Amino acid sequence: MKTQRFALTPGEPAGIGPDLCLLLASQRQPHPLIAITSRDLLLERAAQLGVAVSLLSVSPDNWPDQPAPAGSLFVWDTPLTARVTAGTLDKANAAFVLHTLTRAAMGCLEGDFAGMITAPVHKGVINESGIPFSGHTEFLADLTRTEQVVMMLATRGLRVALVTTHLPLRQVADAITPERITRVTRILHADLQHKFGIAQPRILVCGLNPHAGEGGHLGHEEIDIIEPTLERLRREGIDLRGPLPADTLFTPKYLEHCDAVLAMYHDQGLPVLKYKGFGAAVNITLGLPIIRTSVDHGTALDLAGSGNVDTGSLQVALETAYQMAETRI
């Protein structure tokens, strides 16, 4: 059986990503896990944290075929552009951050890695460097030449995918189109099958308006757009229920009979998921030709180098990537 290696990108070097990688190394992983980052950065942060870790250098010329021992971490050295001070952003390292992501994604495409796990980046400082950047998801879509991707967050007992992601609320209604709902639903359905091994996924769909429009009294998007689109998708064999009022959909009555929820916008679905599983949730990019999972939190600059961080979300992101690689069809 082919060794399944995984790539880990620590994200913003001044944030808690490097800390998480070092703390994670205390436990042996079930698969070879390659941190794509600066060896010097990890050494300096380990000294700051007082963490004893052995950094094992690897590269495409000598990929490991066994997991690293507990207390050690495989590192594909990727040099920084400027020295890092924990907690202090420096736009000089923006290109470094994107280089680590590119190495990881290309390694997945070329078969070196079975999937990639990402710690948080800081979008603002990358843009301040002069590089247009709207997020991991969009960057990886462009890199892999993927036309449409879907953001899904998951925690134990709940998966939530989004029709729209980072849009101002004023723009959301105009973005809820039959074409977008169709693309997102097909991707969600296909990846639940092919990357999660669910033969017949059951998907609950939120309405856009309060009470799912209440028969047209609180909006017509459900009647004019959402329901007709869902009916067409049902005829393709996709198991969909809705549109349902979001304020009652997230209850055991409904959730115990579904594999995922499709929310119309970011703050409709994600507050519920993060309340249920913050610190133990994972961000998954659907639609890519590769497996990509991520933590559900930000760079936490104020905690970098403090030792006061929780690896829970990163561990869930790793476990999810491992499971997806095992069940992938």
Would you list which residues are annotated within the binding site for a divalent metal cation? 166, 211, 266
Cα separation, 97 vs 182, whole angstroms: 33
Strand ranges in 181-238 using DSSP code E only, listed in sequence order: 202-206
From the annotation, which residues make up the binding site for substrate? Answer: 136-137, 274, 283, 292
DSSP per-residue codes, 85-140: BTTB--GGGHHHHHHHHHHHHHHHHTTS-SEEEE----HHHHHHTT-----HHHHH
Cα separation, 316 vs 79, whole angstroms: 28
Contacts of 168 (CB under 8 A, 6+ apart): none
Is the CA virtual torsion 312, 314, 320, 326 positive or negative? negative
Q: 278: buried, middle or exposed (CB in 10 Å: 19+, 13-18, 0-12)?
A: middle
Peptide bond into 243 cis (omega under 30): yes
Per DSSP, the three-state class of 235 is coil
Number of helices followed by number of strands (H, E) in the chain: 13, 12
From the annotation, which residues make up the binding site? Answer: 136-137, 166, 211, 266, 274, 283, 292
Cα separation, 177 vs 221, whole angstroms: 9
User: What count of residues does the chain have?
Assistant: 329
Cα separation, 238 vs 223, whole angstroms: 19
Contacts of 156 (CB under 8 A, 6+ apart): 277, 280
CB atoms within 10 A of CB 251: 9
Establish how many alpha carbons lie within 13 A of residue 235's alpha carbon, considering only the half-sphere containing its beta carbon. 6
